[in-house]
Amino acid sequence: MSGNAPLIRLADITKTYGAGQAAFKALRGIDLEVARGEFVAVMGPSGSGKSTAMNILGCLDIPTSGHYTFQGVHVEKLSRDQRALLRRNFIGFVFQGFNLLARTTALENVELPLIYRGTPTAVRHAAARAALKQVGLEGWEDHTPGELSGGQQQRVAIARAIVTNPIVLLADEPTGNLDSHTSLEVMELISHLNRDNGITVLMVTHEPEMAAYARRIIHFADGQVDNDAWQQQERA
């Protein structure tokens, strides 16, 4: 870790659902720091807390206790609207199920985050086309998801995630619905965005082959960080 303040810091984060006898502790005191530009894979069995932690990191949920700072800002102290603004301006999301609008073209799907921002039409179109070109889909702007392969759909989803120039990309099982060859293509693309664009990547995966693309692997177990290790990069 560099001497600079970390981009993301979780300090003694807990998350409890329910109360009394029905209370479930999903997170039991998470301490975690992520520097700008890192590529981190998050692994662990179902129920280990990794998805809960990602939801907190993505400002989709708030911790029961503890501190979460993003670029020095205490996220747990923000209002719902402020968290939504942080999410919209600094974080891109990629999901296992693509989450594309079925009757909408690739270009229109990619434009969605910019529509929420109120970006002018011409600027929006140009940014969406540039994002699609960046993920290798130049010429596919007018195709709907039904006219695209699974890999192409995930590329559209990645373009939508990066069209706002986020600092952080949160990817939840991004290759979970893809065959092995397409999975590797998508992982190469995510690696490229991390390496060449400097986007910090946090990726949940259960596949060691996909986690191997990260420089750091964090294992969750029983609501805690069980192991946090850097690994040697073999790829150029």
User: What CATH number does the domain containing 91 carry?
Assistant: 3.40.50.300
Residue at 34 is within a domain: yes
Note whether residue 225 is domain-resident: yes
Query: Nearest 5°: phi and psi at 200?
Result: -75, 130
Is 27 part of any domain?
yes
The residues, any chain, with a CB within 8 Å of residue 22's CB and separated by 6 or more, are none
Q: Does 149 reside within a domain?
A: no
Two tokens, residue 160: 């939508």
Residues in the chain with pLDDT values less than 50: 1-3, 236
3-state class of 48 per DSSP?
coil
91: containing domain: 8-97+168-230
Number of domains in the chain: 1
pLDDT, position 183: 94
Cα–Cα distance for residue pair 98/80, rounded to 1 Å: 25
Residue 177 exposure: Cα atoms within 13 Å on the Cβ side: 15
Q: Is residue 60 part of a domain?
A: yes
Counting every residue written for the chain, the total comes to: 236
In this prediction, residue 236 carries a pLDDT of 44
pLDDT number for residue 5: 84
Per-residue model confidence (pLDDT) at position 233: 58
The answer to whether position 224 is within a domain reads: yes
What is the reported pLDDT for 116?
87
Helix (H) or strand (E) holding 29: strand 24-34
Residue 69 sits at φ, ψ, to 5 deg, of -110, 135
Q: CA-CA distance, 152 to 150, in Å (whole number)?
A: 5
44 part of a folded domain: yes
Whether 53 is in a domain gets the answer yes
Identify whether the C-beta of residue 177 lies closer than 8 Å to the C-beta of residue 150.
Answer: yes
User: Dihedral sign, CA of 30, 35, 37, 38?
Assistant: negative
- Taking each continuous run of H as one helix and of E as one strand, the counts in the chain are 7, 10
